[in-house]
Amino acid sequence: MGKDLVPPSGGDDNIHPVDLKAALEERYLAYALSTIMHRALPDVRDGLKPVHRRIIHAMSEMGIRPNSAFKKCARIVGDVIGKFHPHGDQSVYDALVRLAQDFSQRYPIVDGQGNFGNIDGDGAAAYRYTEARMTDVAALLLEGIGEDAVDFRATYNEEDEEPVVLPGAFPNLLANGASGIAVGMATSIPPHNAHELCDAALHLIKHPDATVEKLVEFIPGPDLPTGGVIIESRENILDAYKTGRGGFRVRAKWETEDLGRGGYQIVITEIPFQVQKSRLIEKIAELLIARKLPLLEDVRDESAEDVRIVLVPKNRTVDATLLMESLFRLSDLESRLPLNMNVLSLGKVPKVMALNEVLSEWLAHRKDVLVRRSRHRLAAIDRRLEILGGLLIAYLNLDEVIRIIREEDEPKQVMMARWSLTDNQAEAILNMRLRNLRKLEEFEIRKEHDDLSKEKSEIEGLLASDDKQWQTVAWEIGEVKKKYAKATEIGRRRTQFADAPDADIEAIQQAMIEKEPVTIVISQKGWIRALKGHMSDTSALTFKEGDGPKLAFPAQTTDKLLLLTTGGKAYTLGADKLPGGRGHGEPIRIMVDMENDQDILTAFVHDPSRKLLLVSTGGNGFIVAESEMIANTRKGKQIMNVSMPDEAKLAVPVTGDHVAVVGENRKLLAFPLSQVPEMSRGKGVRLQRYKDGGVVDVKCFALADGLSWSDTAGRAFTKVGEELREWLADRATVGRTVPKGFPRSGKFGG
């Protein structure tokens, strides 16, 4: 009953030692090549992968032409997997569906009837419900397949034959694009306009050495089924077509609709290629809920047949361009289409090709197809001329032919001997029906003979002349161009070109943040938090044990904060990214990479128009623009070069035309601001000279207004004009003892 599980003995002689590494390498390479050649990469000549080629060929074999009736997709899929494609039915059906989707294919190859999915990302109905037939594009791809235009090879089970490549009268690779992932390589080609491709091909026939620069004049860029706007620069597009690698930035097409009384709404009519509309709207809604789009009030999908996504701004004062720019940055309303023209050259060699190489190989294939079809037609004409010669003899000797057929045992041999007929001629006479005798008129036979002889001489002339062959190829391409001209509905260019508006990046980033007032609080030990609202009194705030207040200042959530350390480094923090005021905040050292031996010197709201005078303990200083202090990383930006024991001590806003410096030795020096250099980084120059000690305080002032300070009691002092003369000197001098009434602390603020 059961199987004998004991292995047979005596089989040791058939065991061969195999190097595992070599065996694995061999098998992996075989798998990789199989994937590259027979699955993932399209052929440069017809732009099809094997599965698509098999679908079209199966439909052709079933007689499902553009003008024939629709047939169930189940029948087509069954034929494909039964005869040509030993893969899953679902994968074949998915490929068939994509060929029929007008939002996936620029020029659909299959005409579908039923639910073939939609731009929202919904799948097609099961293949038992849907029907399909060829489109004119598929008919063009097949044109001449029965005329020995291409080679055929045995199918996977060697029961049938399939074409190695299709004749490809349509520039399908670039017109419909392709995508695929192989082993160690991939391909990604966006769709293009057929009219433009034909123009470029015709130019290439006349000028075979045409550069990519010239061809891009005819093919400015992709033409996507879903439209959109390409905002890639001309240089980048040219470079992509030259190298075969690159990409194109595509944006949704939008316009504003006036609602009256100053109100408006934004309507998106076209979305980027291969973006699911429903997922796109979900993403925008998620951003809206997360409060990352403060300029946007609502998003609605009002699409029917056409795309119509409505964006409602927060209020009528919102700038539409700014709102859209913020959406382009955060959502798939802007996407990047990759270009990787990695295709099979001559159906054998995977290669990344430039634009001119792709078109040249397609043209070479079209010429080869023309020559093969012409030779096939020539052979057919020769066969027919031979038969016509026999029929003419039969007509002229009809009575004798009838007598031989009636009386002779071997009429074929007798006729061949009597009139020197060939085997084919004799067979044609014998197989001729009686009803054809009345039509068998000498005039008709001679007319057909003359017509065919004339056609034969034309074909022979074509085969003998390279120029005539290219002229014929050009005429065929011209016919395709007429059929898919830009004047037609299917041929019109859908994707436009534009330059991205020069929107202020700062403004866009701010537009993404909801503007709210906050109070920034920094403790002595370097903990930071942002309390809601502007607090005038921060004395009630609590801190960790052993910690206390250091800095507190008002800001907005849209502001950038600059932090300056004693080591001369500047760090940038977004006010919206700071922890709230419920706890004690978070240590600044967690947010940025601060050295342990450094401390927070000061922090303030960034003002791009402001300049600061940075001063070290040792009395060196320089002016730096705040715009130069912005650090884009956690590591910060080194602004002032100091080495221990020296450290950054003061950061004073630059105003007026003079600087006053007070040292620990209670010497005051005032000198023109012009003597201090402006730098983006450095040690600075000596501001005041000391034997020992260092700087206590620095102040910028206008000489005309005088130098003012206040003491601990709050009394204000001002020295103007001549009163300041004794302290006015050049930079790097010692200065004079501070005037009477100057605070003991040595600070201008008391």
CB count within 10 Å of CB 688 equals: 28
What the block records as the tokens of 557 is 């959530």
The single-letter DSSP state of residue 501 is P
**Residue 344 φ then ψ, to 5°:** -85, 115
Give the burial string for 441-477 (b: 16+ CB within 10 Å, else e): eeeebeeebeebeeebeebeebeeeeeebbebbbebb
Cα–Cα distances (Å) from 66 to 11, 59, 139, 536, in that order, read 60, 10, 7, 79
What the block records as the tokens of 629 is 């202090």
The single-letter DSSP state of residue 403 is H
Residue with tokens 């679908």: 55
For residue 256, the cross-strand partners are 266
Contact (CB, 8 A) for 430 and 405: yes
Q: Edge-to-edge strand order for the sheet containing 569-574? A: 600-605, 560-565, 569-574, 637-638
CB count within 10 Å of CB 192 equals: 25
Q: Is 740 helix (H, G, I), strand (E, B) or coil?
A: coil
Pairwise CA distance, residues 42 & 40, whole Å: 7
In degrees, to the nearest 5, what angle opens at C-alpha 559 toward C-alphas 555 and 561? 85
Residue with tokens 């060829």: 134
For residue 257, the cross-strand partners are 265
What the block records as the tokens of 429 is 């006479």
Contact (CB, 8 A) for 372 and 220: no
**Residue 358 φ then ψ, to 5°:** -60, -50
Q: What share of the chain is helix, strand, coil (3-state, %, to 5)?
A: 35, 25, 40
Residue with tokens 């057909």: 448
The length of the chain, given as a count of residues: 750
What the block records as the tokens of 194 is 């057929």
CB count within 10 Å of CB 131 equals: 18
Contact (CB, 8 A) for 245 and 232: no
Pairwise CA distance, residues 333 & 497, whole Å: 16
For residue 717, the cross-strand partners are 709
Pairwise CA distance, residues 272 & 245, whole Å: 20
Pairwise CA distance, residues 740 & 437, whole Å: 140
Residue 129: active-site member = yes
Long-range contacts of the stretch 230-234 (C-beta < 8 A, 24+):
230/495, 230/496, 230/497, 230/498, 231/334, 231/497, 231/498, 231/499, 231/500
Which entry of 28, 31, 129, 156 is annotated as an active-site residue?
A: 129
For 488, residues 6+ apart whose C-beta sits below 8 A from its C-beta are none
CB count within 10 Å of CB 38 equals: 12
Write the single-letter amino acid at 640: M
The set of catalytic residues is 129
